[in-house]
Structure 1
């Protein structure tokens, strides 16, 4: 599978020290990779919610003389037929189409399975395994923790912030935890950033599923796995982060020698209890 425009854009931006505003612009370009090479600086500023001079400074931070030079590079990156055709789809269909594109980007990312396998090994060997997800990311953390508990001997869900969160991290570390799994989705709560800083200070490795490689948690993650969210509806949609969480579960199961036996034991006990209707 060839690299997508979004993947090539991420490679263009990686390795540069970007401000939060500049990371926002980079994230916008990756999210709108199909149209990125055709946006004016004014259009890009409006889409990213920043000022036009910020777009110019972003281009200079990447080593270009200005935005026109950056846009020429973007057009070199994009395939010739990348410009999207006008669509008569309604807003609901457009939201679904955008999520399909997010999943295509995730498939491109997974062409290199190395980071996911590394993450799976880290999760499998952490006993206990704390799983963090606050606010919008709480559902992703809960879903992962629910299934992970069927194969991992000690999964601890951290889906509430407040002053108790560092205490719960401390207890996990004292019990032997070596890795924290974090789901971080926009809008990124300050508490999530603070929790990762605390976790790193406590000696935990951090595996993070985030909406972008430019998310505020990126610098605090030992393994960062990006999966874009959809922004076409009133509330963000997170199909790609959810699927990436399931992929991480698979990688963790691959690294747990007793995973299959645990699943078979659960199925046997569920059948004897009549747990499921089917």
Structure 2
């Protein structure tokens, strides 16, 4: 069975920010790629477990007038392309390949290390260093803060929203913070944009790792470092933002004279306490 119908569908979906329901439809279409050009909107809705209007909205989100126009487009592609043979890539393999492509793009961006070095110098000089990440970005912020605390004397993780978020930013400013690092990933919470606005008004320089230079947080960031997310699965994959965060940490160590001694002290303490299984 040819993998070209599934590949064509993946290419059709790329670049579109789809809702969870729309992604469910997309995944169903990929799984039934050979059948999709011949399915009605009702049939596709039943297969995907969604409503028929959701299928219509999905087609419109892709830029078509409706589902019939989408189906016509797929039939035309099917007729125009010769049959091919070979083992198909499954959905998981396609997601991995997409992430590999994102990492290649990140590697190209890092050919100029200047922006990362500038960001790292700013972050290293902030005492304390608040690190913000809400919802989908909370894991990225937590991972960065965990490792940064091993080399930076005062890292403050901000991974919960609500009315206290502004208070915690103000507290960091009063304690001497000069920079806030934000991880911002889709779907972008409104309160992240509001928090960054508040941070700038409080005098903080905002450094942001985001999925795109055109993300909603771009206008409230003083230095934005883009790293694309994968959208091939039901939930985004964020290998590139994670790796970019680690690159920031590496560059930060160059601006923290005590980084190596702190790491050695931690290793000695960990050995004494038997923290890790060797």
Q: 1:48 to 1:191 in 2, by over 3 A?
A: farther
How do 1:149-228 and structure 2 match up within 5 A?
149-228=149-228
- The CA deviation at 1:226 is 0.5
Equivalences, count: 206
Q: 1:199 to 1:92 in 2, by over 3 A?
A: same
Q: 1:51 to 1:190 in 2, by over 3 A?
A: same
How do 1:189-268 and structure 2 match up within 5 A?
189-268=189-268
Q: SS at the partner of 1:217?
A: helix
- The CA deviation at 1:252 is 0.8
| TM value normalised by structure 2 | 0.71
- The CA deviation at 1:88 is 2.1
Q: SS at the partner of 2:180?
A: strand
Alpha-carbon distance in 1 for matches of 2:198, 2:87: 47
Moved over 6 A (4+): none
- The CA deviation at 1:28 is 2.3
Q: 1:135 to 1:200 in 2, by over 3 A?
A: same
1:212-252 Cα offsets, whole Å, 9 max, x none, are 01100011111101000000001100000000010000011
1:75-113 Cα offsets, whole Å, 9 max, x none, are xxxxxxxxxxx9821111000000000000000000000
Q: 1:210 to 1:47 in 2, by over 3 A?
A: farther
Q: 1:146 to 1:207 in 2, by over 3 A?
A: same
Q: SS at the partner of 1:236?
A: coil
Q: 1:179 to 1:28 in 2, by over 3 A?
A: same
Q: Which residue of 2 aligns with 1:127?
A: 127
- The CA deviation at 1:49 is 2.8
Contact persistence 1:28–1:47 (CA under 8 A):
no
Q: SS at the partner of 2:96?
A: helix
Alpha-carbon distance in 2 for matches of 1:47, 1:117: 43
Q: CA RMSD in A?
A: 2.2
Equivalent position to 1:49, from 61, 79, 89: 61
Q: Name the larger-Rg structure.
A: 2
Contact persistence 1:28–1:48 (CA under 8 A):
no
- The CA deviation at 1:48 is 9.5
Q: Which residue of 2 aligns with 1:28?
A: 15
1:165-204 Cα offsets, whole Å, 9 max, x none, are 0000000000000000000000000010000000000000
5+ residue gaps, structure 1, are 1-26, 30-45, 54-85
- The CA deviation at 1:274 is 0.9
Alpha-carbon distance in 2 for matches of 1:47, 1:227: 28
